[in-house]
Structure 1
Amino acid sequence: MRRFKFLLLLTAVFLLLPLFLFAGNDNNAIIPKSQRFITKQGTFHLKRESRYFSDTTLAKNAVSYLQAHLKTNAGYTLKKSGSSAKNSLQFHYAPAKIKKNEAYRLQIDTEQIIIEARDKAGFFYAVVSLMQMMDPSIWKNGGRKKTDWTLSACTIEDYPRYHWRGIMLDCSRNFFSKTYVKKFIDRMAQHKLNRFHWHLTDDEGWRIEIKRYPLLTKIGAKRGPGTKLPFSTFPAMRGPKNRVQSGYYTQNDIREIVAYAKARSVEILPEIDMPGHAKAAVVAYPKLLQDPKDKSRYHSVQKVGNNTIDPGLESSYVFLENVIAEVSRLFPFSYIHLGGDEVPKGAWAKSPAVKKLMKAKGLKNRRKVQNYFFTRMDKILAKHGKKMIAWQEVLTGRPTLRKSDIFMAWKSPKAGFKAMKQHRNIIMAPVQYLYFDQQYVRNRKEPGHTWSTPISTKKAYSFNPGTSGYLKGVEACLWSETLLNEKIADYLTWPRALALSEVAWSEQKQRSWRGFRKRVLGKGLERLKAQKIHYRPMH
């Protein structure tokens, strides 16, 4: 009997041994979880004497990123050497092996680290995975230097589930500095998130310099006492009541941030919200954007009145095309977001210009007017070499748009599935799972909005966007009504953005809350702590 129990115990240990070995391996630290990994024996020591070799310029950004962190936190950078050097990192262009965009193969042995990819993003993500396996102090911004970095031997083959993996940051409701925006983008890139959706205009502020229309920032970027913009109907957004809130990004700021993001394989999607959510533009240029004879009275769901651009005025389209022309030159990404959500009921109801347009074009109702507006705006975008992204409301009247246009389903996953059945390209951004402006839990002491459901990190992680040829990816939204400072923004973003990264990157069959939680509580939170990110504790 004793011998039987001993054999049973021995068998159990033998079966469980691989699990214990994996649990202790640095692969377990990677977020988002890689698609395939193989653990091996031994370790590689990255140190001052280590070298690197690259046979492609596509690895330049990845090498520079690693070098910058080593210089800050180790006090040295890696020197370049021949391809056969021992104790070296090898970067190889391998399109025959690596078939998918953004994919990579990372092999760590005792004497070499070999990275293979087919594009800049693949090399960058391989380095990000490598750095996640290193001691979390590699992410610090200086301090005590560590010169020897130990990496467990392994082979990783990895690629993204979705090609759109984004976060939206609202810099209109509350303005964030150029420095913080760059930090935000860098933290995204560390977790293989590749689309920074930049909400630059809304009722509460116009945040991008437009040379043709200087009043957009001179008037539209300021709110508070003595300005033309309302302080806010939402108390948490007001801040000190006796202070004018202002801020905008110059065109040089934009260029700097775009280049910074590009070096991290992040594309920036600018959003110029229209025809609603346009109070800042309207107060700056009322004669161009509103019919003076319009007697309509209305308020948005946020209780902002008189906040829409009149689609019956030719001057509205001239203004918007001039804005689009400048925005197009600043942002190389092929898409521009035109908003399109929450146009208040009653807008244009008594506008003579809109009535004239309806009669001339045979537009029977307000929905048809909005269809006309976005069909025309889509043509303006095409003229400037851009494609359109908009919120799901734009699809309500089935406007005539290009097949390449994309729509963001924010009201529910069901809305996204419905649109895909109509052969529309969709990005899933459902409020029930991915609106990071909402509280984690319903508690009066917790920061965040309360108008929708609370979203815990576990709930965000539970979202499965599904599979469709029309599904482009997923995005979380961080609206800033309650974000009075960077600490609140960090708190509401992290660690939920870790969950987002895994939802967006890892195949559904690879994911489990238990495994994810273990990695977050391991090195995941330690990496955030090393960067002094004010994240919400996770247990």
Structure 2
Amino acid sequence: MKKGLSALLLASLLCASSGCQQNQKEVVNEYNIVPMPNQMTPQEGRFLLSNKVSVVTAGCTPEVQAIADSLIAQIQLTSGISLKTSSQENPEQPDIRFVTEEGMPKEGYKLSIAPNEITLSASHPNGFFYGVQTMYQLLPPAIYGKATVKRANWSLPAVEVEDAPRFPYRGLMLDVCRHFSTTDYIYKFIDMLAMHKMNTFHFHLTDDQGWRIEIKKYPKLQEVGSKRKETLIDYYFVNWPQIFDGKEHGGYYTQEEIKDIVAYAASKYITVIPEIEMPGHAIAALASYPELSCRPDTTYEVTGTWGVFEEVFCPKEETFQFLEGVLDEVMELFPSPYIHIGGDECPKDAWMKCAHCQELIKKLGLKDDTTPNAIDGKKHTKEEKLQSYFITRMEKYLNSKGRNIIGWDEILEGGLAPNATVMSWRGVEGGITAAKAGHDAIM
């Protein structure tokens, strides 16, 4: 027994003298930064967060100070560590410095992490914000939570980063028409955008399966258009006959909720671009106001199936007045320089059968192409040109209010509206065609 105890004691002494390197390996630095920075140079060592660390914001604007305060608050919440604030550097204490450096891109930043200091440099608040997002990505995942996790490794790997985005528009679309999302989910969605340094939230608010934004001038949009009696189970052709869930699905955002969402996104340097679909994907609106269709005596129901539908807005004065009224309220809620007007998947069957539409086509002098269009190299029908008239008219109205339009690549058909930006979703061809014609394109 004594011999065994002596051997154990000897092993313990040997472990102590050698530092037990096998069991106490140094942490290997990892750099899980998304997206990958333009320049990144790994360094040795780590910066340890502690109550001794100061956050120095000398010479920073109040907006940058707010970004620094948010970093301090999140670290306090998730780690329990209380970083100090200071108006000047202390060479004897570790610190995190926010330094304004002129001449950098609006969304660019430099991040220098050494074992004894962190320096975040930028010219604009946007850059400081993205630099902080990179710091979060270098910290333990618990930094994104709402609970205190003291046992995590609250340190950052030493590194030199210099970054600025390649694309000015970096966004993600959320479709709340097919399936309504709660405001809590939307806030989480915005957090995810910010985490990945995206700057645009494309908010798809109207479609055949539901109208999701309160328009006070047209209350039936939320009273009728925001609800469907049931929803298709599985994909379109999986079950035949089709099977539905028998459950009403509904919901819309009040204007106050929209204002809060837009403000929250803005606090994270994200622009919210609303999408109000026209002239297709209009069944939820037509169920509310059937007089806007080519068959005003028809009763429409908000559909619970997916796909492309023949029921579309009729290009008559009543329709344009309606859409202008809708857009007036939308513009009050969304300060974005862009309004997305859809323009995709609009069958022309109803227009071909509609006496008003055919009379309007004659009045406008629209004719089927006999030779390929100069912009996209395709022949277009007079009805496709009628869609171009529809989109151009709405564009002119929005331009008169200081806004520009974005539309899906179908708005190329029949001629592109003068100032439109094309969002290319059917592959890259639409974006390339729009760019060659001198228009901005979003891929």
Where on the TM-score scale, by shorter chain, does this alignment land: which range? 0.7 to 0.9
Pair 1:323–1:239, CA change in 2 (3 A) = farther
Specify the alignment match of 2:361 in structure 1.
358
TM-score (norm 1): 0.68
CA distances 1:344-385 after superposition (whole Å, capped 9, x unpaired)? 141211212212222222222102211111111001111222
Mapped pair 1:426 → 2:426: no
Q: Which moved more, 1:67-76 or 1:122-131?
A: 67-76
Does the CA-based 8 Å contact 1:293-1:351 persist in structure 2?
A: no
| Equivalent of 2:53 in 50, 54, 62 | 50
Select the structure with the greater relative contact order (CA < 8 A; seq sep ≥ 6).
Answer: 1
Shift of 1:292: 3.0
Mapped pair 1:110 → 2:127: no
| Equivalent of 2:274 in 250, 270, 273 | 270
Specify the alignment match of 1:246 in structure 2.
250
- Long gaps (5+) in structure 2: 1-26, 368-381
Pair 1:399–1:38, CA change in 2 (3 A) = closer
Pair 1:233–1:30, CA change in 2 (3 A) = closer
Pair 1:118–1:146, CA change in 2 (3 A) = farther
| Equivalent of 2:328 in 320, 325, 329 | 325
Specify the alignment match of 1:33 in structure 2.
36
Whole-Å separation in 2 of the counterparts to 1:290 and 1:271: 23
| Equivalent of 2:126 in 117, 121, 132 | 121
Shift of 1:391: 0.2
SS of alignment partner, residue 352 of structure 2: coil
Does the CA-based 8 Å contact 2:233-2:243 persist in structure 1?
A: no
Shift of 1:412: 1.2
- Long gaps (5+) in structure 1: 1-22, 429-539
Whole-Å separation in 2 of the counterparts to 1:265 and 1:60: 15
Whole-Å separation in 1 of the counterparts to 2:154 and 2:235: 49
Does the CA-based 8 Å contact 1:291-1:353 persist in structure 2?
A: no
Specify the alignment match of 1:154 in structure 2.
159
Shift of 1:305: 4.2
Shift of 1:120: 1.9
Does the CA-based 8 Å contact 1:204-1:232 persist in structure 2?
A: no
Whole-Å separation in 1 of the counterparts to 2:358 and 2:296: 14
| Equivalent of 1:395 in 390, 406, 412 | 412
Does the CA-based 8 Å contact 2:422-2:441 persist in structure 1?
A: yes
Q: Which moved more, 1:190-199 or 1:83-92?
A: 83-92
Pair 1:47–1:213, CA change in 2 (3 A) = same
Mapped pair 1:280 → 2:297: no
Whole-Å separation in 1 of the counterparts to 2:414 and 2:202: 25
TM-score (norm 2): 0.82
- Pairwise mapping of residues 210-359 of structure 1 onto structure 2 (< 5 A)? 210-224=215-229, 234=235, 241-292=245-296, 302=306, 305-311=309-315, 313-359=316-362
SS of alignment partner, residue 347 of structure 1: helix
**What amino acid sits opposite 1:253 in the alignment?**
E
Whole-Å separation in 1 of the counterparts to 2:148 and 2:312: 51
**What amino acid sits opposite 1:221 in the alignment?**
S
Q: Which moved more, 1:59-68 or 1:104-113?
A: 59-68
Specify the alignment match of 1:520 in structure 2.
none
Shift of 1:146: 4.8
- Count of residue correspondences: 391
Specify the alignment match of 1:386 in structure 2.
403
Whole-Å separation in 2 of the counterparts to 1:303 and 1:73: 45
CA distances 1:366-411 after superposition (whole Å, capped 9, x unpaired)? 0221111111100111122211000000012123422xx3111111
Mapped pair 1:94 → 2:111: no
Whole-Å separation in 2 of the counterparts to 1:352 and 1:67: 65
CA distances 1:442-470 after superposition (whole Å, capped 9, x unpaired)? xxxxxxxxxxxxxxxxxxxxxxxxxxxxx
CA distances 1:475-510 after superposition (whole Å, capped 9, x unpaired)? xxxxxxxxxxxxxxxxxxxxxxxxxxxxxxxxxxxx
Shift of 1:239: 9.6
